[in-house]
């Protein structure tokens, strides 16, 4: 190689998969010291896809989901959970299909593509789970809907905005730590959402952990 020249080996760039939260959020703690008010789990390694029924095809699509996954498609904002898959209402005649593992997910989507418009969103969304005794107080700073337990029950969901960022959230079964909410945001807006979250959760103290669905 001539002096001063750069070999091809030196110019090769290796690309690999990265978490939607990479470079945005990391495990640890921030905010007030003492009792943790909020726990944020950065969800990764899941499969996610949008499923849109053909005109007048929702009933047939729901039957296909029941036959394959044992889950009917929800007809109102919310989430239905199964052993390995969740189905989340995402608008009239459209849903999110979430898989606990990406293994075999592409094949599953191919099956449903015979009944609907299916688009793999696995790497297009950032997902996290929030819980803790102060979680509702944090979300109330930005979420423009009532998340009180009497108004937003376990299994309910909503499409809304936080700090001009479109989000999709739903409520899961409570744990000893408190109410549990999950949120998805467009991957390109994960940084903006996280900036709002850090500013909103700091006064209560937050622990950030990695995890899966």
- For residue 13, pLDDT beyond 70: no
- For residue 8, pLDDT beyond 60: no
Q: What pLDDT is stored for residue 18 in this prediction?
A: 78
pLDDT digits (tens, 9 = 90+) for 185-201: 999 999 999 999 999 99
Strand, helix or coil for residue 11: helix
**Cβ neighbours for 123, distance < 8 A, ≥ 6 positions apart:** 17, 20, 187
pLDDT digits (tens, 9 = 90+) for 56-111: 999 999 999 999 999 999 999 999 999 999 999 999 999 999 999 999 999 999 99
**Across 123-131, average pLDDT:** 96
Q: What pLDDT is stored for residue 78 in this prediction?
A: 97
pLDDT digits (tens, 9 = 90+) for 51-61: 999 999 999 99
Strand-pairing partners, residue 85, are 99
Measured CA to CA, the distance from residue 184 to residue 96 in angstroms comes to 11
pLDDT band per the 50, 70, 90 thresholds, residue 211: confident
- For residue 202, pLDDT beyond 70: yes
Q: What is the 3-state secondary structure (H, E, C) of 121-185?
A: CCCCEEEEEEECCCHHHHHCCCCCCCCCCCCCCCCEEEEEEECCEEEEEEEEEEECCEEEEEEEE
Is residue 201 within 8 Å of 40, Cβ to Cβ? yes
Query: Tokens at residue 150, please?
Result: 């009497």
Q: What pLDDT is stored for residue 17 in this prediction?
A: 72
Q: What pLDDT is stored for residue 9 in this prediction?
A: 53
């Amino acid at each position: 190689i001539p002096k001063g020249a750069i070999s091809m080996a030196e110019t090769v760039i290796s690309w690999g998969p990265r978490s939607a939260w990479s470079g945005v959020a990391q495990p640890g703690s921030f905010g007030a010291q003492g009792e943790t008010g909020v726990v944020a789990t950065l969800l990764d390694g899941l499969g996610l896809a949008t499923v849109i029924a053909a005109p007048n095809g929702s009933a047939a699509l729901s039957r296909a989901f029941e036959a394959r996954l044992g889950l009917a498609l929800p007809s109102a904002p919310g989430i239905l959970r199964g052993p390995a898959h969740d189905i989340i209402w995402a608008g009239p005649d459209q849903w999110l299909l979430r898989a606990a593992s990406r293994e075999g997910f592409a094949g599953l989507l191919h099956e449903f593509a015979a009944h609907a418009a299916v688009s793999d969103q696995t790497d297009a969304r950032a997902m996290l789970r929030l819980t803790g005794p102060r979680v509702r107080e944090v979300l109330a700073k930005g979420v423009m809907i009532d998340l009180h337990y009497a108004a937003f029950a376990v299994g309910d969901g909503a499409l809304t905005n936080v700090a001009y960022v479109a989000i999709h959230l739903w409520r899961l079964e409570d744990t000893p730590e408190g109410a549990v909410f999950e949120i998805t945001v467009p991957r390109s807006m994960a940084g903006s959402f996280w900036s709002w979250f850090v500013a909103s959760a700091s006064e209560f103290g937050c622990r950030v952990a990695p995890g899966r669905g």
